[in-house]
Amino acid sequence: MQGNKLLWVVSGLLVSAAVAFGATATIMSVQVRKAEIRDTPSFLGKVTSGLAYGDKVTVGQPQGAWMRVTAAGQSGWIHSSALTTKNIVMKAGDGAQTSASSGEMALAGKGFNSDVESKFKANHKDIDFAPVDRMEKIKISTSALQKFAVTGGLKMSEGGAP
Amino acid sequence: MNKILTPLLLCACLMIAGCGTLSKVTELGTAAAVAAGAISTDQAQSINKSAQAVGKVFESITPEQEYYIGRTVAATILSQNKPFDNQATTEYLNTIGQYLALCSDRPETFGGYHFLIMDTDEINAFAAPGGLILVSRGMLKCCRTEEAVAAVLAHEIAHVVNNHGLQAISKSRLTSAATVLATESAKNLGGKELAELTKTFEDSISDITATMVNNGYSRQFETQADKGAVAILQRGGYDPRGLIAMLTEMSQHLKPGGKDFAKTHPDPKVRISDVQQMIGTAPAPAPAPARSQRFASVMKGV
C-alpha cells in the first residue's frame, strides 16, 4: 500500500516535470557557428536553409536525435547537438537580466574569445596558428561523404544520443 | 584600508572555493564587499549571477569557448610536431573522420571536426576540444586497413564527444575566470582584465596539453573512448575489430619508455581484452575490395 502510494507520487512528479520541460523547451538556440536545416531527419537530407550561432528556433516533435524546428518561417530538421536550451545572448544587455538568474544564459563572445586568442598569440609568438587555420578549412561535402560510404560498401546509421 | 582589503578577501574566498560552494562563497564575499562600499549592489548582483553560471565547472564552458580552447591546444601541439603535408592522405583522413563524426553522439561542434597528420614517427594522436584531431605518421603506420584508421579516428572523436580535454582543466582556473568575468559583466574587458583572463586561458591550455602529452587521461576515460569508438565504428558500418588489429600492431611497435602512447595510454594488450568484451559476438560487416584499394593507394606515401 505504502509502495503504491509512493509510486503514484513519483509518477505524478515525473508527469509534472515532463509538462514543465515541454513548456519551456520549445525555444532553443543554435550553439554552433553554422547550422543547417534539412528536409528529412538525417545528414543525408537536403539542406533547405542555414542558421547562425545564437539564432532561435521553435522546436517541435523530436525523432531520434533530430529536432523538428521552425525558424523565420522555414521548417525542417536540425541535429540536437547543434542546439541548446540555454539562451545565447549575442550582446550584453539583450535579455541578460531575466535569463542570468535562471543559470540558462550564455553570452556570446564572452570568456575565452578571439580577443583572448589574440592576446595569447602576442604572448607566444613561437606558436603558429596557420596550420590550425588551414585544417579548419577542410570540409568534405555531404555528397562526397555519401559517395565515399557507398563506394566503400559502408552502411551508415547515424548517432543516437541527443 | 577596507577598500584594499575587501577585494583581496573576495579573491581569496573565490580561490579557495570548490565548485560546489562557489556561488555561496561568492555571495558571502560580495555581501562583504558591498558592506565595505568596495562595489555597488548592481555589480554584486552580476558577480553572483556569473558565479552561479560557472558553478558547474567544465559544463559552463560554451561550445564557442571550447572552440577557442581547442584551436590553441592544437596550435600548441603543432608547434612541437610539424604537419605532414600530403594532400591526398589529409583529405582521406578528413573524409573518414568527418563521416565517422556524423555517426557519433555529437556530430555538430562549434567549428566542426577536422583532421591533420603530424610528421613524426612517434605513435601519437590528440583530440583537441571541439574536434581538431591530430594523428602522427607513426600512428598511421600501425594501421594496415581503412578499418584500423577509422578505429584511431573514432577513438579520438569519442574523446571530443565526452569532453575529456575540457575535463583536464583544473577547477581553480574556471574559478579565476569567473572572478575576472564577473567583475566586468556586460562590459568589454579592459586591458588588465583581458590580461588576467588570458593568463587563465594559458593555464587551462597547459592543463590540457600536459594531460594529453605527458600524463595521459585516466584509465576510465580511455575505456570510455574505446567504448565510444566501437559504437561509432558499428554505426558507420565498419568492423570494430579494426581497433583490435590496430592495437595489436601498435603493441609491436611501442618502445618501452617512449614519450608517445607508451607513456600516455594503457597497455594495448589490456585495451585489446577490454575491446574484445565490448564487441562480443557482433557480426562483422562484409569486407569491401574498394576500401582496401583506396587505402593502399592513399596511404603508400605515409
Q: Which of B62, B96, B288 sits opposite A153 (nearest CB)?
A: B288
pLDDT tops 60 at residue B92: yes
| CATH value at residue B101 | 3.30.2010.10
pLDDT tops 90 at residue B18: no
| CATH value at residue A144 | 2.30.30.40
Kindly write down the DSSP assignment for every residue of A73-136, as one continuous string.
TEEEEEEGGGEESSEEESSTTSSHHHHHTTT-EEETT-SS-HHHHHHHHHH-TTS--HHHHHHH
pLDDT in tens, B97-124: 999 999 999 999 999 999 999 999 999 9
pLDDT at B183: 61
pLDDT at A107: 74
Same domain assignment for residues B143 and B23: no
Looking at the complex, report in whole angstroms how far the Cα of residue A39 sits from the nearest Cα belonging to chain B. Answer: 17
pLDDT bin (cut points 50, 70, 90) of residue B168 is very high
pLDDT at A8: 55
Q: Is residue A139 part of a domain?
A: yes
How many structural domains are present in chain B? 2
**Between residues 93 and 122 of chain A, which touch chain B (CB distance below 8 Å)?**
93, 96, 100-101, 103, 105-117, 119-120
> Out of A143-152, A153-162, B56-65, B172-181, which region has the weakest mean confidence (pLDDT)?
A153-162
Measured between beta carbons, the chain B residues lying within 8 angstroms of A96 are: 186
Same domain assignment for residues B94 and B202: no
- Helices B219-236 and B241-253 pack at an angle, to 10 degrees, of 130
pLDDT bin (cut points 50, 70, 90) of residue A162 is very low
Whole-number average pLDDT of chain B = 83
Same domain assignment for residues B122 and B188: no
In which domain, by residue range, is A37 found? 2-151
In which domain, by residue range, is B233 found? 84-165+217-299
pLDDT at B301: 84
- Report yes or no: A42 and A158 within 8 Å, Cβ to Cβ: yes
Kindly write down the DSSP assignment for every residue of B74-94, as one continuous string.
HHHHHTTS-B---HHHHHHHH
